Amino acid sequence: MLAMAVLLATSLVPYRFSPPEASGPTAATRIAPLAAPAGVRVSFITTALGELPCTLLAQGSGFGRCRVAYRAALIAHPRGTILFGTGASPDVLPAAPVVRLLPIPAPTDGPTLHDALAASPVSRVVLPTPRWQHLGGLSDPALTDLPIEVGRSDGWYATDGPWPYRLGIDPALLDPVRPRLRRVRWGRGRYGAPYSLDVYGDESVVMLGLRGSSADEIGMLVRLDSGLTLLIVGDAVWRQEQVTDLRPRPAWSTWFLDRNRMQLANTQRWMNALNRDSHVVVVPLADARMAIAEYPDWAD
């Protein structure tokens, strides 16, 4: 009875985090305008679609069904192209029973990840987290010889750490590519993130460490040559209003799915401040409602 009451409350009662101080931009969340090199652009590949109970996605969303997208992102730079995540596949699902009870992702009718990789070869593969919804395309022949980068702590949990490390990180899913896993060598944090790595040394593509959903989820800060700045995230938020309206996921779902609920709340506040202070557009890979550049189109 108590569990049902908690489920009802977190599904139907709107809730917002208390906002950060709104006194103005701070050094930690202000990103100075910077002209990105010509040719920095982004495209997203939707590998599968599905429906989940809305109550899993954001508190106060009710008991209806919400459409979710399973995506990968291609980040093109004059010095190479990064594949960020590989989306989901019906053939790559964790053994955890709770996750297997969710609807199996359905492939789309659009261009596949294989099509995109054939047309735009990549030089680097980065996983937001080693969870199943970002591993669906790792077996593609175009990626056979490439190392696969994960957050330093996430890489440890996915190889040597205890099992299971929250639902969805099933070490067995990584067995075929385990020899190619590489842990990111984080540097000092930038823009208020605890860790960062400037991929090309020109601040156009920066990996940022995000805490809460996992030990060190990777978010990709991308400055497009149009002047737009994106923060692409995999699991820290699943819907854009979690950032703009400071809407958390329901407590009961984060107890099962996330590493540290309080750290995740602070990460959402930080993303809200980036959006407010520097007009950074946060792009959750799972938000099917966002109007984004779907491959073969590119945002530049």
Give, for all 300 residues of the chain, the pLDDT tens digit: 555 565 566 555 666 666 655 434 344 566 665 666 778 999 999 999 988 878 777 777 777 888 899 999 999 999 999 999 999 998 888 776 555 557 788 889 889 999 999 999 999 999 999 998 999 999 999 999 999 999 988 888 777 666 555 666 778 888 889 899 999 999 998 888 999 999 999 999 999 999 988 889 999 999 998 889 999 999 999 989 889 888 887 776 777 778 888 889 899 999 999 998 888 999 999 999 998 999 999 998
pLDDT, residue 146, reads: 95
Residue with tokens 């969340």, as numbered in its chain? 29
In a domain, 164, yes or no: yes
Q: Is residue 2, in this structure, part of any structural domain at all?
A: no
Q: How far apart are the C-alpha atoms of 50 and 70, rounded to whole Å? A: 8
Q: Is residue 161 part of a domain?
A: yes
181 DSSP 8-state letter: E
Q: What is the model's pLDDT at position 157?
A: 76
pLDDT of residue 7: 56
- Please list, residue by residue across 250-265, b when 16 or more beta carbons sit within 10 angstroms of its beta carbon and e when fewer do: bebbbeebbbebebbb
Number of independent structural domains in the chain? 1
- Supply the pLDDT for residue 38: 78
Of 52, 154, 49, which Cα lies nearest the Cα of 98? 52
Length of the chain: 300
Tell me the chain's radius of gyration from C-alpha atoms. Answer: 18
Has residue 168 been placed in a domain?
yes
Position 247 scores a pLDDT of: 84
| Integer Cα distance of 159 and 177 in angstroms | 11
Q: Are 44 and 71 in contact (CB under 8 A)?
A: yes
* 105 falls within a domain: yes
Check residue 29 and give its pLDDT.
60
- CA atoms of 207 and 270, how far apart (whole Å): 15
| pLDDT at residue 260, rounded to an integer | 83
| Residue 210 belongs to domain with CATH number | 3.60.15.10
Residue 211 within a domain: yes
Q: Which domain covers residue 275, as residue numbers?
A: 35-284
**Does 228 map to a domain?**
yes
The tokens for 269 are: 């506040």
Q: Is residue 128 part of a domain?
A: yes
